[in-house]
Amino acid sequence: MSRRLFFLLLLCLMAANLGFGPPRLTDSDLGAKALTPQQIVLMREARAPELTAAAALLVNPTTGQVLYAQNEHARRAPASLTKLLTALVALERADLDRPITILEEDLAVWTMIGLREEEVLTLREILPVLLVPSDNAAAMAIARNLGGDVGTFVGWMNEWVDNWGLQNTHFANPSGLDDEDNYTSAWDMARIALYVMENPLLRDILGRPEMVAADRRLVNTNEMLTRYPGTVGVKTGTETLAGECLITLVERRQGKALSVILGSTDRYADATALLDYFYGNYAELRVTLPPSPINRYVDANGELHAFGLEEPLTLLVRSWQAGSVTLVRRIDNPATNPAPDEPIGRLQVYLAGRPLLEAPLYAQ
């Protein structure tokens, strides 16, 4: 091969290489954004899991975004998920020192932990019995003692449901035993569970794998508390019509996920599949503007003013996008003495070079 032909070939190869390199997403304003090989792998569309459940829901509670929904508004028997609202209504109707006397009629639905006739517990003592081992007799005793009769208490439960606009939920008893008038939906149950978990006492009870209360060692029916890292609640339910039911709330640094499983034949596998789908593909992205020299502007008099967001922004993004955020600060009202509610500009958020949202900026 001649020297001239060799150099021509070398130049061709060099020119060809100019067209290759790391994959990039570009934007006309922001320039190139290089992507790592790991990000490229994560960009592919993830397949939604296949479940045995008749109805299911996966939600990011922080943003309210739904990531998976299957028959989420269909009416299904709730089994012992009912007890979440039983506990909530009990706390709204009585103080924790209220005595609860166990009667023979309460024991007719069976007691999981051996409650005894004429035994007296406070509401504080019986709530763990209701929620941790999911004792049916505890539910009946709470309802009868607080309502005067079970029907009145169940009426309070349905008032709560109506007030919250849960159109696919109705309760016929406080324990969750199968009844054609006892039904809910995955969507409604998610709302109830999230509301329950805002109560510090109920959150503490529902997050314990085991505890001592009412002079008994109670073991939680919810195996996700020890099976799935980051699980903080909430509850199981099992009945003939209902099948296996499970609500799980997980909190990790990557974000929060709530799964609801109704009518399953393998609730733990179904819940695990949904939660793995979330944590394998999504992440919460928190956007803040801490005090720094770049978070200041100069007014017409040459004076510096700090600025920031009214509150931090939390976005749900695909995992591959989490490292590709770009923030652009636009100051279009450099006022010398702005009112507290007067924006001085806007923050533009880009993901992988693409505009995602804007938020107002305020002087601080």
Secondary-structure percent of the chain, ordered helix, strand, coil, rounded to 5: 30, 30, 35
Q: Is the peptide bond before 234 cis (omega within 30 degrees of 0)?
A: yes
Handedness of CA 55, 61, 67, 73 (dihedral sign): positive
Each residue's pLDDT tens digit, 285-294: 888 898 899 9
Are the C-beta atoms of 71 and 55 separated by less than 8 Å?
Answer: yes
pTM of the model: 0.83
Each residue's pLDDT tens digit, 149-185: 999 999 999 999 999 999 999 999 999 999 999 999 9
Average pLDDT over every residue of 86-110:
97
CA 95/CA 234 separation, integer angstroms: 23
144 three-class SS: helix
Are the C-beta atoms of 87 and 131 separated by less than 8 Å?
Answer: yes
In DSSP notation, 157-216 reads HHHHHHHTT-TT-B-S-SS----TT-BB-HHHHHHHHHHHTTSHHHHHHHT-SEEEETTE
Average pLDDT over every residue of 45-74:
94
CA 156/CA 259 separation, integer angstroms: 27
Are the C-beta atoms of 289 and 308 separated by less than 8 Å?
Answer: yes
CA dihedral of residues 202, 207, 208, 213 (deg, nearest 10): 10
pLDDT at 3 over 90: no
CA dihedral of residues 173, 179, 181, 185 (deg, nearest 10): 90
pLDDT at 41 over 90: no
CA 94/CA 147 separation, integer angstroms: 10
